[in-house]
């Protein structure tokens, strides 16, 4: 008997049930008589949101000051697992100092639509990016002796009707896109907890879905930790426990505890099933207790703010920089325009809101760099209602400021009310007054730089007219300083887009299937999420997935690829910094299989690396494409399969900037699909066991089967028709020469001969 089993054996039935739900909003229940303490869990992901007393869950109550690092929408654009891990370590330290046991994050859900109100909490439209960076985050946080909660499991890709809606997804996109990132994090980093989502998956609530919580998460992926509900996500507590949900949060005031007790006493729930969940809760409590106090504090506010500034600078994406307008010279006269320059939009709204230890603003930080004249104009108002006269006045003042300066730096973005947890956006447009401001400022000052603050992508109809654009996303508490660093070249921008910026909302993959109707949303785009969609349809985009410029120039040599003994592909390419300043390049590897037997995107990201190079430096970059990431989900056998063939491996600076390509042969997995009467003749004949038997049987029939030539038009291949003909229906052509019993015997012999 394990130590945990011995502890469970000491508990009464009521005590067991009590441990599977919270004592309050943030604490688990203690059992003091046998030394099980309560532990605290609290929101993240980009900072510690520890609330005091009876403070609420939705970010409206006071919380202790903590470092607000860039949310995932920004940090993900670094494409740098080492940086993400360092941020995770800092988050873990702050969590430990505050005696919190589990930080609720990271979010690795896929950005299916740019309208999702919570996209600022998620990393990418691609599962490889989400999985690699999510694993780095978990490893970093948990290295400090506190836990994480991987969320929101699974297919939580919209806020509209999130408590009820069913994400209806076919098996391949579910596995290959929406679960793949979660799988990577679980297998590589073993988060202490996984948080189930509110929504249903193919009609079944995630909280009571045994296929999701037990078969996939535990049996297939080997998850060893505890499954916790999102706050209020439990639909039926007994069904949820049986499915594999261990801890319901927050407190139900004893109601669902009593339901569990009653179910056990009525024989409707086996007590052993309850014991399993209780054991997992106890294991989590012991992990938290063992790690408690590892970081004694006090918090090094300055060091963590410096890390937040570094991370924010690495999160900024230089979308455009015509004629080298950036970086700015420090003696340039600058008109800083836009409300966000003094009142930064640095995090999203909802349960992830952090009370920052300090807060930079861009105007002050620009003035700290500049030796030339810097003037500020508000340009627009973020108020809910602004009169036409007031908007015109602000715009006029901005034009005057821009005209008098050598360059205008225009801070645009989405007001906080337009994107938040709990609801989705209506469009991807900037507010109309900001669009009018851009036009007016450009007419007065062609040397204009746009800096964006937004948690989800926005349409950029002015992109071909503005010489320089910085996508600043939401940058956390040090974003103002980081923006100034990039504007003046103290930091060379290296961020790359982890989501495509489309031209129009109607171009986006989920446009016709978002947000669904009557609590169902059909994922009709299938595998073609994000760049996969735009590339397959050859749609023009504003800026492609993986795009991001630098103040230097990177040159790529010819790529080479070789298959290792374990089946992974090792890709080598020489990258040279051919420009005048040090910089960092994100090297991306995509793969495709021309002529595949299954539907595939044009190319898919399979590996990436962030490489720092001094001016003039050249280095061979080695990237590994895991064999597991070449797999597709074969719906015939419900398993992962690597299809053999000649794969094209593209080394790229973005999904549409391919620098070098190489072809490498990959040996596929043997797939033995059970044969039945509906198997086609082509499938049967290609089977190594059944094929010879059928060939022999067909030969023995001789001329007993009448031909079909008389019903086929001239020039039409008989082979194509016969290949697709179900073997069970061959009796209609063979008459008495072939009976159903003969076919069944043939198929049974073939299936029984399989290894």
Nearest to 459 by CA among 494, 483, 425: 425
Nearest to 112 by CA among 70, 69, 71, 160: 160
**Is residue 279 classed as helix, strand or coil in its secondary structure?**
helix
Contact 410, 399 (CB under 8 A): no
State the Cα–Cα distance between residues 721 and 680, nearest whole angstrom. Answer: 10
Nearest to 104 by CA among 142, 166, 149: 149
Backbone torsion region of residue 203, taken as left when φ is above 0, otherwise alpha when ψ lies between -120 and 50, otherwise beta = left
Q: How many residues are present in the chain?
A: 755
579 Cβ neighbours under 8 A, 6+ residues apart: 550, 551, 552, 553, 554, 615
State the Cα–Cα distance between residues 178 and 199, nearest whole angstrom. Answer: 14
Contact 198, 230 (CB under 8 A): yes
Two structure tokens written together for 23:
């004592």
Helix (H) or strand (E) holding 3: helix 3-9
With the CA atoms of 494, 498, 503 and 506 taken in that order, what torsion angle do they form, in degrees rounded to the nearest 10? -170
Two structure tokens written together for 59:
């970010």
**Is residue 538 classed as helix, strand or coil in its secondary structure?**
coil
State the Cα–Cα distance between residues 98 and 628, nearest whole angstrom. Answer: 39
Contact 619, 674 (CB under 8 A): no
Nearest to 346 by CA among 546, 744, 92, 46: 46
**Catalytic hit among 168, 230, 246, 629:** 230
Two structure tokens written together for 247:
């801890």
Alpha carbons within 13 angstroms on the beta-carbon side of residue 347 total 25
State the Cα–Cα distance between residues 718 and 738, nearest whole angstrom. Answer: 20
Contact 270, 242 (CB under 8 A): no
State the Cα–Cα distance between residues 205 and 232, nearest whole angstrom. Answer: 12
DSSP notation for 351-407: TT---BS----HHHHHHHH-SS-EEEE--S--SS---HHHHHHHHHHHHHHHHHSSE
State the Cα–Cα distance between residues 75 and 89, nearest whole angstrom. Answer: 14
Burial class (CB in 10 A: 0-12, 13-18, 19+), 4: middle
Angle at 18 between CA 273 and CA 1, to 5 degrees: 50
Q: Answer yes or no: 126 catalytic.
A: no
Contact 127, 185 (CB under 8 A): no
Contact 88, 139 (CB under 8 A): yes
State the Cα–Cα distance between residues 412 and 469, nearest whole angstrom. Answer: 10
Q: Over 436-452, what HEC string results?
A: HHHHHHHHHCCCEEEEE
State the Cα–Cα distance between residues 336 and 372, nearest whole angstrom. Answer: 12
Residue 96 pairs in a beta bridge with: none
Helix (H) or strand (E) holding 42: strand 41-43
Nearest to 200 by CA among 520, 526, 523: 520
3 Cβ neighbours under 8 A, 6+ residues apart: none
**Is residue 521 classed as helix, strand or coil in its secondary structure?**
strand
Could you list the active site residues? 230
């Amino acid at each position: 008997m394990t130590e945990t089993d011995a502890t469970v054996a000491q508990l009464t039935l009521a005590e067991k049930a009590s441990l599977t739900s919270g004592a309050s909003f943030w604490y688990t229940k203690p059992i003091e008589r046998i030394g099980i303490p309560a532990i605290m869990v609290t929101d993240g992901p980009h900072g510690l949101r520890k609330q005091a007393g009876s403070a609420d869950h939705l970010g409206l109550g006071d919380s202790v000051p903590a470092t607000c690092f860039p949310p995932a929408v920004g940090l993900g654009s670094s494409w740098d697992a080492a940086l993400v891990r360092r941020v995770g370590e800092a988050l873990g330290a702050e969590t430990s100092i505050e005696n919190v046991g589990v930080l609720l994050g990271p979010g690795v859900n896929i950005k299916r639509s740019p309208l999702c109100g919570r996209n600022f909490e998620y990393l990418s439209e691609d599962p490889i990016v989400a999985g690699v960076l999510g694993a780095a985050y978990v490893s970093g946080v948990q290295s400090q002796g506190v836990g994480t909660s991987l969320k929101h499991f699974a297919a939580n890709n919209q806020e509209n009707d999130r408590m009820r809606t069913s994400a209806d997804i076919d098996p391949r996109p579910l596995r290959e896109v929406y679960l793949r990132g979660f799988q990577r994090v679980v297998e590589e980093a073993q988060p202490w907890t996984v948080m189930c989502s509110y929504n249903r998956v193919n009609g079944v609530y995630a909280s009571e879905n045994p296929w999701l919580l037990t078969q996939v998460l535990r049996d297939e992926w080997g998850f060893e930790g505890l499954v916790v509900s999102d706050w209020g996500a439990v639909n039926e507590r007994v069904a949820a426990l049986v499915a594999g949900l261990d801890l319901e949060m927050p407190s139900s005031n004893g109601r669902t505890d009593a339901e569990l007790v009653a179910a056990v006493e009525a024989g409707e729930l086996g007590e052993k099933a309850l014991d399993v969940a209780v054991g997992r809760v106890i294991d989590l409590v012991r992990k938290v207790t063992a790690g408690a106090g590892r970081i004694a504090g006090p918090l090094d506010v300055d060091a963590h703010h410096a890390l937040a500034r570094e991370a924010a600078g690495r999160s900024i994406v230089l979308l455009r920089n015509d004629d080298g307008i950036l970086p700015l010279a420090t003696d340039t006269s600058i008109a800083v325009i836009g409300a966000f320059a003094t009142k930064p939009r640095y995090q999203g709204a909802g349960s992830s809101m952090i009370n920052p230890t300090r807060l930079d603003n861009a105007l002050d930080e620009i003035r700290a760099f500049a030796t030339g004249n810097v003037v500020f104009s508000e340009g627009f108002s973020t108020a809910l209602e602004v009169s036409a006269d007031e908007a015109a006045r602000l715009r006029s003042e901005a034009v005057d400021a821009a005209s008098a300066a050598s360059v205008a730096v225009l801070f645009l973005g989405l007001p906080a009310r337009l994107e938040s947890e709990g609801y989705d956006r209506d469009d991807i447009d900037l507010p109309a007054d900001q669009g009018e401001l851009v036009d007016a400022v450009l007419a007065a000052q062609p040397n204009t730089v746009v800096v964006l603050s937004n948690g989800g992508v926005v349409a950029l109809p002015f992109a071909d007219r503005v010489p320089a654009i910085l996508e600043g996303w939401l940058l956390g508490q040090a974003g103002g300083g980081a923006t100034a660093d990039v504007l003046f070249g103290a930091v060379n921008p290296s961020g790359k887009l982890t989501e495509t910026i489309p031209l129009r909302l109607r171009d986006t993959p989920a446009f016709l299937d978002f947000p669904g109707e009557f609590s169902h949303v059909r994922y009709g785009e299938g595998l073609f999420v994000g760049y996969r969609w735009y590339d397959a349809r050859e749609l023009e985009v504003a800026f492609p997935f993986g795009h991001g410029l630098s103040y230097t120039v990177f040159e790529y040599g010819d790529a080479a690829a070789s298959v290792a003994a374990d089946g992974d592909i090792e890709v080598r390419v020489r990258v040279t910094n051919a420009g005048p300043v040090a910089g960092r390049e994100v090297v991306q590897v995509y793969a495709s299989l021309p002529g595949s037997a299954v539907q595939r995107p044009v190319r898919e990201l399979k590996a990436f690396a962030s490489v720092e190079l001094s001016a003039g430096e050249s280095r061979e970059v080695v990237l590994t494409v895991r064999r597991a990431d070449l797999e597709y989900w074969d719906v015939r056998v419900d398993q992962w399969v690597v299809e053999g063939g000649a794969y094209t491996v593209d080394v790229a600076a973005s999904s549409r900037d391919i620098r070098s390509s190489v072809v490498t042969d990959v040996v596929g997995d043997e797939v033995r699909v059970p044969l039945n009467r509906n198997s086609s003749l082509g499938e049967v004949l290609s089977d190594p066991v059944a094929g010879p038997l059928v060939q022999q049987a067909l030969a023995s029939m001789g001329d007993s089967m009448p031909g079909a030539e008389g019903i086929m038009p001239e020039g039409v291949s008989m082979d194509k028709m016969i290949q697709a003909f179900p073997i069970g229906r061959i009796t209609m052509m063979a008459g008495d020469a072939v009976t159903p019993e003969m076919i069944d015997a043939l198929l049974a012999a073939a299936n029984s001969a399989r290894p």
